[in-house]
């Protein structure tokens, strides 16, 4: 970020013993964390005296330099100085035990998501081409058309190289070597062999199956998966002195042979089977994927399953040239969620502030803000959107609507449905979106009225969640012009002033004023209504900016960054909108304490200078959702 932190970073690195003394460096919310080869080389007094540091803490085998809220900016400069030592922008995360399904979803998402921008860009170029042809602005036989086609098809033809690179990054092997192996499979001379149809025998003994790998997906995924093991084995057994030469050479020889003789052909056959399956689905049950995706997409997003299913679209496109598995149902679902949020903003002024911007974002294809900020907490708009999405998806499926390029699931993506020299696919997806949106709008009004009457009859919200106390809506302007607002407790436990925290970085109030809570329950709720602006990768710290500008930090435990996220489960993401009292996630108090750490949770107003007074309301025990802090300015 800003180079103004460069001198401080230089001084810190020099005073901890220099780059050569740093085995690892990362940061948490408040401090730089170093693992030093020799802590005796660090000049602790000199570091304490630096302008920009707030102290040094020893703990867990780490040399910790307290910086404050701008620690990420300082670390950005530190990383430039010690990056070659294996420093990390985040705490080192150990291999976490995952279920087989989670592992597959994580692998698929990590491989496909990085290439989505390229696929989206190429898809929009194809959409522009189709429009130019439809409106007779260019001829499909012209050189202009051919060049535009090259602009778009280059991405799809060389997709194996991009997937090889991203998969290798995911599997932590050399992405350049993986891309090079993919390039072998796309070499023009191999394409010439395939076109000629003459048998190819390696050394006269190993037959190479004649198969074309351009625009393919499955073959390169298999190849790089095996390559990750081969490469790691070679790195382990070949001396460092000759590693640079012999590891790439042997990788090419081994993987080139396996790619053309075994792995590539297997992937090619699997791809052909998938093509048969996709074709069967399109001809005999085209409505099934669109209905399932259209109706269940919000649930898939909540559980992260969409990351494993969405890549079926590009896979089908690689095999058949179109996608009917993911695209149609997804865009209909997104429009229905956006419509539900829009209706909420019109019928319920209390939720307009969150629902209206979230709805606009959803119309552009990003649904998390409206899903987590409005539809899921209120429930009835989510039900309406799911029913409407299934109905719209049914029409899209029955009309066999296809998209011909990969892109977002927002309104601009309707252009991706121009193809097969017709506009009918685009017309049909628009009709599907209208059907889904109209049904969603009607159901949102109807279900909203039913839910409202039920709440009035019950006299209170029957939810087991703490009663929301939206900070922004509870802001009150006093007679003297002062603004006051409230912050509820995110956890249940025993309250102390934050000045009594066992962590000096918090008790010194350098991070902000607030409370320290010894939790007795592991449920975390939002202290204010606003947007999640910080969610640390290790899940132990969450920052929320309230609707009236209060910046609230929830820091669960002391030094729990070292637990690498294991005791924490968070159900929100950075950028999500939340309401006060909404459940954010859970943490395992026993696991934290068994690991030797304190679960004491800090709730801080980090922009305390913007508030004249930050007052701690309760003493003793507090329940999650009870008033905790009162802010005034």
Q: Give the count of beta carbons closer than 10 Å to the beta carbon of residue 130.
A: 23
CA-CA-CA-CA dihedral for 325, 331, 337, 338, to nearest 10: 170
In whole angstroms, give the CA distance from residue 343 to residue 345: 5
Are the C-beta atoms of 432 and 417 separated by less than 8 Å? no
In whole angstroms, give the CA distance from residue 92 to residue 94: 6
C-alpha gyration radius of the chain: 28
Q: What's the order of all strands across the beta sheet hosting 627-632?
A: 476-477, 483-488, 627-632, 613-616
Are the C-beta atoms of 181 and 164 separated by less than 8 Å? yes
Q: Residues near 245 by Cβ (< 8 Å), separated by ≥ 6?
A: none
In whole angstroms, give the CA distance from residue 176 to residue 174: 6
HSE (side-chain half, CA atoms, 13 Å) at 359: 22
> From start to end of 203-350, where are the E strands?
206-208
Q: What is the 3-state secondary structure (H, E, C) of 329-393?
A: HHHHHHHHHHHHHHHHHHHCHHHHHHHHHHHHHHHCCCCHHHHHHHHHHHCHHHHHHHHHHHHHH
Catalytically annotated residue among 28, 173, 297, 336 = 28
Active site includes 351? no
Residue 261 DSSP code = I
Q: Give the count of beta carbons closer than 10 Å to the beta carbon of residue 213.
A: 27
Q: Indicate the SS3 state at residue 516.
A: strand
> From start to end of 395-497, where are the E strands?
476-477, 483-488, 493-497
Q: Is 99 exposed, middle or buried (0-12, 13-18, 19+ CB in 10 A)?
A: exposed
Catalytically annotated residue among 351, 402, 540, 555 = 555
Active site includes 28? yes
Q: Which residues are catalytic?
A: 28, 555
């Amino acid at each position: 970020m800003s180079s103004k932190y460069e001198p401080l970073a230089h001084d810190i690195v020099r005073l901890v013993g220099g780059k050569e003394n740093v085995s690892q460096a990362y940061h948490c919310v408040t401090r730089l964390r170093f693992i030093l080869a020799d802590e005796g080389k660090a000049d602790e007094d000199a570091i304490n005296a630096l302008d920009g540091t707030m102290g040094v803490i020893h703990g867990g085998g780490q040399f910790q330099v307290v910086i404050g809220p701008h620690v990420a900016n300082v670390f950005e400069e530190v990383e430039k100085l010690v990056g070659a030592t294996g420093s990390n922008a985040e705490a080192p995360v150990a291999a976490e035990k995952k279920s087989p399904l989670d592992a597959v979803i994580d692998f698929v998402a990590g491989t496909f998501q990085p290439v989505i921008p390229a696929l989206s860009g190429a898809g929009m170029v194809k959409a522009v081409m189709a429009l130019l042809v439809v409106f007779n602005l260019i001829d499909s036989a012209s050189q202009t058309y051919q060049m535009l086609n090259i602009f778009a098809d280059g991405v799809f033809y060389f997709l194996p190289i991009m997937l090889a690179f991203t998969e290798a990054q995911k599997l932590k092997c050399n992405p350049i070597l993986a891309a090079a192996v993919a390039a072998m499979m796309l070499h023009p001379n191999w394409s010439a062999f395939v076109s000629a149809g003459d048998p190819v025998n390696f050394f006269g003994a190993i037959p190479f199956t004649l198969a074309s790998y351009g625009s393919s997906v499955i073959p390169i995924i298999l190849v790089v998966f095996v390559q990750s093991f081969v490469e790691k084995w070679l790195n382990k057994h070949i001396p460092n002195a000759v590693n640079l030469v012999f590891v790439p050479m042997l990788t090419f020889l081994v993987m080139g042979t396996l790619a053309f003789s075994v792995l590539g052909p297997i992937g090619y056959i699997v791809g052909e089977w998938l093509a048969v399956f996709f074709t069967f689905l399109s001809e005999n049950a085209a409505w099934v994927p669109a209905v399932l995706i259209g109706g269940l997409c919000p649930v898939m997003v909540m559980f992260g399953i969409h990351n494993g299913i969405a890549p079926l679209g590009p896979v089908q496109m690689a095999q058949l040239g179109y996608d009917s598995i993911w695209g149609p149902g997804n865009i209909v679902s997104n429009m229905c969620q956006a419509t539900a949020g829009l209706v909420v903003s019109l019928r319920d002024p209390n939720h307009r502030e969150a629902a209206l911007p979230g709805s606009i974002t959803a119309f552009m294809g990003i649904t998390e803000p409206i899903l987590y900020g409005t539809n899921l907490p209120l429930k009835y708009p989510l039900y309406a959107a799911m029913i409407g999405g299934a109905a719209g998806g049914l029409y899209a499926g029955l009309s066999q609507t296809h998209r011909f390029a990969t892109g977002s699931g927002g309104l601009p993506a309707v252009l991706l449905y121009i193809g097969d020299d017709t506009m009918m696919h685009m017309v049909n997806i628009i009709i599907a979106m209208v059907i889904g949106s109209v049904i969603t709008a009607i159901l949102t009004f109807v279900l909203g009225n039913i839910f409202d009457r039920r709440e009035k009859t019950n006299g209170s919200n029957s939810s087991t969640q703490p009663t929301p106390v939206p900070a922004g809506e509870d802001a009150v302007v006093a007679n003297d012009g002062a603004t006051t607002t409230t912050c509820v407790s995110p956890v249940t436990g025993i309250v102390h002033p934050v000045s009594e925290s066992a962590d000096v970085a918090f008790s010194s109030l350098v991070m902000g004023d607030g409370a320290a809570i010894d939790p007795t329950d592991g449920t975390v709720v939002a202290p204010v209504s606003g947007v999640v602006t910080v969610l640390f990768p290790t899940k132990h710290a969450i920052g929320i900016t309230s609707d009236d500008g209060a910046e609230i930090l929830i820091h669960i435990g002391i030094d729990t960054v070292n637990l690498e996220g294991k005791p924490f489960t968070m159900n929100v993401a950075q950028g999500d909108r939340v309401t006060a009292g909404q459940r954010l996630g859970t943490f395992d108090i026993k696991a934290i304490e068994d690991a030797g750490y304190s679960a004491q949770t800090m709730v801080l107003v980090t922009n305390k200078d913007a508030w004249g007074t930050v007052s701690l309301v309760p003493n003793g025990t507090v329940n999650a959702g009870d008033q905790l802090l009162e802010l005034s300015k």
